[in-house]
Amino acid sequence: MTAVPPDSDLDALFVDDTPLLDVRAPIEFNEGAFPAAVNLPILTDQERHDVGITYAEHGQAAATSLGHALISGQTREDRIETWTNYIGASTHTHLYCFRGGQRSQIACEWLAAAGYNVPRITGGYKRLRNHLLDVFKRLPPLLVVSGQTGTGKTLLLEHFSNAVDLEGLANHRGSAFGGKVSAQPTQVNFENALAIAFLKQGSDTDVMIEDESRLIGRINVPPLLQEQMKASPILLLNDSLENRVERIYNEYIEQQWREYQAAYQDDPHTAFESYLLNAIDAIRKRLGGVAHEALRATMTEANAAHAAGKGLDGHRNWIRHLLTDYYDPMYNYQLEKKTGRIRVQGTAAELIDWYREQPSLA
């Protein structure tokens, strides 16, 4: 049984997407995990609970004895077979439990007896998690892509290999209307995936990142990253109002509608209307009562026309007013505080050309 080397080599595990065999209980895995990890527990949630109670009441020896009794015989053989089936397709698999203690040690011993020498990560999940949190203390130089709502900041990032997509990792498009049909990750999983994304970028180049507020949906941007974003140079993306309306319409209405059709086949109209109305209601205080009611009425009219088979086009009306009356004034106010950090501004094509002409911004 081999153990994983010092912290300096942990980066490679994540950068190379090394397959990870997580033998923690499902309840632990669901609270936080790594993108390349598969949960094949040595103890089920109930078994872990029973062992924990025994440990609290009778001590470690009794708990260990109960653990062996719970996963003996055919149960043990079944779990070993599950592990070996996974390892057989993943030749460089590493294994861990929460702290690199008894569970991972026993799992590795059983696997070794079956002919599989699987590296065990000393310190377990806790060590790996802390290692990723430390990534935010050594972030590379950042270039923040900013711009009014609908200018296509996320689309611009797709042109750069040195970009980290916060909204993609958070599974949210940003803003009150950014929620997707599929759920956002847990905060821990977002942070783990984000740290790995930075590790994959390396430390010898600047990293492009979209200007975000503290929250992306219900996900918090890590405080250390927030601080660095607030002090980093800005690339300001510009586009016309009509282009922005059309871009938002395509992404937040047409694309979102297709997602709702697939997810709510029995009644997608009701679910889609609820998504839109809940989003506009979420910003009622910021809009003010009169503006909120007017926009909500326009949105309701567009929803009714869509339900009647007249298409989605009516949604462009409230999108245009929401941009000009709400998002643009709010963004312009915030931009006034950042003008000293603007390195360049222009259309997407102009920003791409400008960046390609820079020898290094790191």
What pLDDT, on the 0 to 100 scale, is given for residue 8?
60
Q: Which amino acid is at 113?
A: A
Output the pLDDT for position 1.
54
Kindly indicate whether the domain formed by 7-134 is annotated with CATH number 3.20.20.150: no
The single residue of 21, 23, 97, 107 carrying the catalytic annotation is: 97
pLDDT at residue 361, as a whole number: 53
Q: So what's the pLDDT on residue 7?
A: 64
Structure tokens that stand for 163 in this block: 């970009």
* 97 is a catalytic site residue: yes
Averaged pLDDT in 10-residue chunks for the chain of 362 residues = 65 94 97 96 92 86 85 92 89 90 93 93 96 96 95 95 96 88 95 97 90 94 96 96 96 94 93 95 92 95 95 95 92 90 96 86 48
Strand order in the sheet with 163-164: 163-164, 207-210, 142-147, 234-237, 342-346
pLDDT for 362? 43
Domain layout of the chain by residue ranges = 7-134, 142-356
The pLDDT value given to residue 2: 63
Beta bridge partners of 346: 237
